[in-house]
Every structure is written in structure tokens, then in C-alpha cells.
Amino acid sequence: MSRHVVSFTVNGVPKRVELEARRTLADMLREDCGLTGTHLGCEHGVCGACTVLVDGEPVRSCLMFGVQAEGCAIRTIEGLAAPDGTLNVLQRAFRTHHGLQCGFCTPGFLMLATWLLERDERLDEAALRHAVSSNLCRCTGYQTILDAIRAAAQELDRWEDSAAGEARR
């Protein structure tokens, strides 16, 4: 199997990795970059536990090859907290609202929510529910994940109390 050299950044840090063309982005992050915070729940693109941001967009890292990351800016869960480990607003909200139990799916939900909170448009209930249904969680029943992301959006002044959103609640 041919090997390729790929250059990209992860959480702002430049990386240069040599790997097989068939290695997934998820495996590259976990095994070649040592970033084990990205978890593999299904390896066929359904569960979303491996969601990372590639050039600002959420991506199932099990469905993208490492070589496709050439020149990309990748963000993972390891980049969310401050260097001293202080949790960011979203992470704190997950803790306060009990948005995690076993924590295995959590990296995917955090990266998905990071994308939601950084988009140009403000987040409303409909968009929140639509986006969060992308990923699977087996422990929480989702309500507390929705609560956490909503609370983080409110704290960051990214929340839209739209009538459309209210109607769906």
C-alpha cells in the first residue's frame, strides 16, 4: 500500500505525517497525532462520535481519508479547553446540564455544537434539534445535551428565541 506525506494543522499546530492512503482521518488523528479524544463509535458514518471540524465544517473523521486533509485546518476536542485545562463555555454547560454520562460520544457532540455556535446565523431551537439529531448518544436520552448547547448559546449571546423554534419545543 503506497505511503503519502500529508501536511495540515490540528488545533493550530502544524503537523506532517506519513501514512497509507487508506488510513482514515480518525485513525490518523488518534494513532499518528496521538489525539485520542476523537472516538470511533461505528466507523461507518452513522454515530458521529468521531466528528471533528475540517476547515470549519463538521466532518465524520471515519469517512474521510487522512490524505484528504492536506492543507486543512483540523480542530478536535483537545483544542477546546484553555491550555491550563480550564473548560470553555460549551464544556462547562455540558457539565452543568449533565450532557454526558459515559462520555464516549461527547467529543462528537462537542465538535458539532462548536460548529453550531460559531456559524454566522444565531442558533434557534429548530436548528439545534435538527443538528443534534446527527449524532448518537446511548446514555443521556439527548435532552440534557440539547439543554447544554442551548445554555451555552445563551451565555455566548448566540441564541435566537425564534417563534419557529418555540413552536417545536
Convert residues 115-134 into a mask of x (bound to other proteins by CB under 8 A) and - (unbound).
Answer: --------------xx-xxx
Q: What span, in angstroms and rounded, lies between the C-alpha atoms of 72 and 156?
A: 27
Could you tell me which stretch among 30-38, 66-74, 117-125, 152-160 binds other proteins (CB under 8 A)? 30-38
Compute the least distance from the CB of residue 86 to other proteins, in Å.
9
Nearer to other proteins, 12 or 141 (CB): 141
- Angle at which helix 143-155 crosses helix 106-118, to 10 degrees, equals 40
- At residue 26's C-alpha, the angle toward residues 121 and 82, to 5°, is 55
Nearer to other proteins, 8 or 140 (CB): 140
Q: What span, in angstroms and rounded, lies between the C-alpha atoms of 98 and 167?
A: 25
Q: Which of 40, 63, 73, 156 binds other proteins (CB under 8 A)?
A: 40
Q: Which of 34, 31, 33, 25 is nearest to 69 (CA)?
A: 25
Compute the least distance from the CB of residue 159 to other proteins, in Å.
17
